[in-house]
Chains A and B, each alone.
Chain A
């Protein structure tokens, strides 16, 4: 009991305090940023307004500079509850579209990254000729190639999920490859020599020694990869004509000056990012459970 109480005091309380202060600053920011618009556009309709009216107005503007948290929450809630799941007004549809391309890209990117890492570990040529380029690509804004990938795949006749997933995929595969190469190399010499004395083939050594040893390296890179993949999927939705997806929702929101809509799409994409990472972390705990003990 006591340890639970201290962990509550040590962990939950400070985070709650920080979030509470953030919320407070947000509301204060609403007053500061929206006051001008409120005084110019809304308050002239009700003469003799006081400071309480001003505050209430800034927190409930039609098109605020900064929407108040409860407005964003209300917009989120109404978009989820008031519209059917297949309506483009429902944010869950956009979340599903973005999550789908992220996950498809993530799965293929991870598979490709692991396979490439296995090849690099077993081939000195690939290790020396290809790996430096993959490592160097980490310093380059590879996301900038997204419009090119979209154009190429568009000319080749691919549309829908494929181009977005392709971008999510190539963003996922870089970190996975680099981490997997490290992980597959992590077994000590004495362990590889033990496998050798057992007359284990390279395949057996790979399955029984290298791959299990690489898992602790793989999972942190997977968390990076899925976050990168989500950004990739959202960016890929920008130039595609913007029908569906969180990125498209953000762009249409900024075209029409729908501030509340942008903020709720932003909150939704943050939640999606947290959810995807939490899912990866859950798989990690499940797979590495027996090692902890």
Chain B
């Protein structure tokens, strides 16, 4: 109960602070205003601490994370506006939202160019290729032993550096970015598929053998289903990699549209609100893709212990 009181007190203080003229940048901040901000800050920290200390209800953990996020946004806004932080350093959240609304058309075109073309095509193609090669070489242990160490080592190599070569080969448009993404997503999926196909237990395999099941039957009914959790987690890793790959590849050269292009050129023009807007779009895309893949995992791999325990 006391926790609720603290939260209400903090929210009331914050609301009062919000109404002061200095908060909207109308007047210069006085020392008294600075003191009020410090008081609100202490109250906010206290409220997060009280909520985090709760054992019940079960969503108290989520609530404290959300509350923390809200406070960060609030003090970001108040601090930047009241103390007149240069826009180049840090634009206020309100101006980021403003530029999101103002440049919605531009950002939507960037989103289509980068995410729906380069990332989606590259991610699907790279993951499908990795999976296909993994299944294809399943019966060739010699190739597996040769490819697996090489594929694992590629995770330590900055693969995104092939972007300039891909730009030379496929031009400035999205296929060159998709090619970078294909290369980046291929190896994680290959490694995951190979590991997943080995995941079926000895007992189950011997059972299939005792049924005189053919190789294809065993693959379809036992080993591929066992590999699904590995494959879905590779899809999740690849989703983030694909976004990074496409955005960074656009830093190396792109047509005048795309999230990476927007970020790099607007940063050079010091138009930071729009840069932050593009980053918000990329971040939301990444989180939504991840959330969708988690749902997919729940549906496809509902039997796996790591899913059931959630």
Q: Does B86 contact A (CB under 8 A)?
A: yes
B296 part of interface (Cβ distance < 8 Å): no
The CA of A63 and the CA of B149, in the complex, are separated in Å by: 33
A230: chain B residues at CB < 8 Å are 158
Q: Which of A17, A129, A273, A277 contacts B65 (CB 8 A)?
A: A129
A69 CB, min distance to chain B CBs, angstroms: 14
Q: Does A274 contact B267, Cβ atoms closer than 8 Å?
A: no
Is A127's CB within 8 Å of the partner chain B?
A: yes
Minimum CB–CB distance for B155 against chain A, Å = 6
A17 touches B264 (CB 8 A): no
Which residues of chain A (130-163) have a CB below 8 Å from chain B? 130-133, 136, 138-141, 143-145, 147-148, 150-152, 155-156
Q: Is B76 an interface residue (CB 8 A)?
A: no
Q: Does A38 contact B (CB under 8 A)?
A: no
A147 & B252 in contact (Cβ 8 Å cutoff): no
Known A129-B52, A148-B267, A150-B267: A273·B88 in contact at CB below 8 Å: no
Evaluate contact between B247 and A14: CB separation under 8 angstroms: no
Which B residues are CB-close (under 8 A) to A214?
Answer: none
Q: Which A residues between 13 and 27 are near B, CB-CB below 8 angstroms?
A: 13-19
Give every chain B residue within 8 A of A11 (Cβ-Cβ).
145, 149
Closest to A276 in B: B156
- Interchain CB contact (< 8 A) of B143 among A18, A128, A129, A239: A18
Interface-centre pick from A14, A141, A263 (highest chain B CB count, 10 A): A141
Whether A235 contacts B251 by the Cβ 8 Å rule is yes
Q: Which of B67, B167, B283 has the most CB of A within 10 A?
A: B283
The digit string for A1-45, where 1 denotes a CB below 8 A from any CB of B, is 000000000110111111100000000000000000000000000
Give every chain B residue within 8 A of A266 (Cβ-Cβ).
161-162, 165
Report chain A residues within 8 Å CB of B51.
128
State A257–B253 Cα separation when bound (angstroms). 13
Q: Does B33 contact A (CB under 8 A)?
A: no
A238 interfacial contact with B, CB 8 Å: yes
| Contact yes or no, B161 A265, CB < 8 A | yes
Given contact pairs A125-B52, A129-B64, A274 touches B153 in the complex (Cβ within 8 A):
yes
Contact A148 B279 (CB under 8 A): yes
Residue pair B49, A262 in contact (C-beta under 8 Å): no
Is there a chain B Cβ closer than 8 Å to A254's Cβ?
Answer: yes
Q: How large is the interface on B (under 10, 10 to 19, 20 to 34, 35 or more residues)?
A: 35 or more
Query: Which residues on the B side are within 8 Å of A276 (C-beta)?
Result: 156
Residues of B contacting A231 in the complex (Cβ-Cβ under 8 angstroms)? 158, 160, 244, 248
Q: B164 near A254 (CB under 8 angstroms)?
A: yes
- Determine whether A164 belongs to the interface, using a CB cutoff of 8 Å to chain B: no
B268 at the interface (CB under 8 A from A): yes
Question: A143 with B145: in contact, given A127-B52, A129-B67 (CB under 8 Å)?
Answer: no
A10 touches B145 (CB 8 A): yes
Q: Is the CB of B157 within 8 A of A269?
A: yes
What is the size, in residues, of chain A's interface with B at 8 Å between Cβ atoms? 61
Asked if A223 is at the interface (CB within 8 A of a chain B CB), the reply is yes
A269 / chain B contacts, CB cutoff of 8 Å: 157-158, 161
Q: Does A251 sit within 8 A of B, measured CB to CB?
A: yes
Check B252–A246 contact: CB distance below 8 A. no
- The answer to whether A227 and B65 have CB atoms under 8 Å apart is no
> Counting chain A CB atoms within 10 Å of each CB, which of B155, B162, B165, B289 scores highest?
B165
Main secondary structure of the interface of A (DSSP, over half): helix
A259 close to B (CB within 8 Å): yes
Query: Is B263 an interface residue, CB under 8 A from the partner?
Result: yes
Contact indicator A246/B68 (Cβ below 8 Å)? no
Residues B126-143 near A (CB distance < 8 A): 142-143
CB distance from A104 to the nearest CB of B (A): 17
Chain B 8-34, CB-CB to A under 8 Å as 1, else 0, gives: 000000000000000000000000000
Could you tell me the distance between the alpha carbons of A142 and B277 in the complex, rounded to whole angstroms? 14
**Chain B, residue nearest A259 (CB):** B168
- The distance in angstroms between the C-alpha atoms of A265 and B161, with both chains bound, is 9
B282–A144 touching, CB < 8 Å = yes
Task: Name the A residues within 8 Å of B162 (CB-CB).
Answer: 266
B89 within 8 A of A: yes
B267 near A141: Cβ-Cβ < 8 Å: no
CB distance from A80 to the nearest CB of B (A): 19
Q: Is A291 an interface residue (CB 8 A)?
A: no
- Contact A141:B164 (CB < 8 A) given known A127-B52, A152-B89, A239-B268: no
Q: How far is the CA of A137 from the CA of B88 in the complex (A)?
A: 23
Contact A151–B52 (Cβ < 8 Å)? no
Collect the chain A residues with CB atoms within 8 Å of residue B286's CB.
Answer: 139-141
Known A125-B48, A143-B247, A144-B263; contact A151-B68, beta-carbon cutoff 8 A: no
User: What are 25 A-B contacts defined by CB distance under 8 Å?
Assistant: A14-B144, A14-B147, A18-B147, A129-B67, A129-B68, A139-B236, A139-B240, A139-B287, A141-B247, A144-B263, A147-B267, A147-B268, A148-B267, A148-B276, A151-B267, A151-B270, A152-B89, A227-B157, A227-B158, A231-B244, A235-B251, A251-B164, A254-B252, A262-B168, A266-B162
Given contacts A15-B145, A144-B247, A263-B165, list 11 more A-B pairs with CB under 8 A. A15-B150, A18-B150, A128-B51, A129-B64, A140-B282, A143-B248, A147-B267, A239-B268, A250-B161, A250-B164, A266-B162
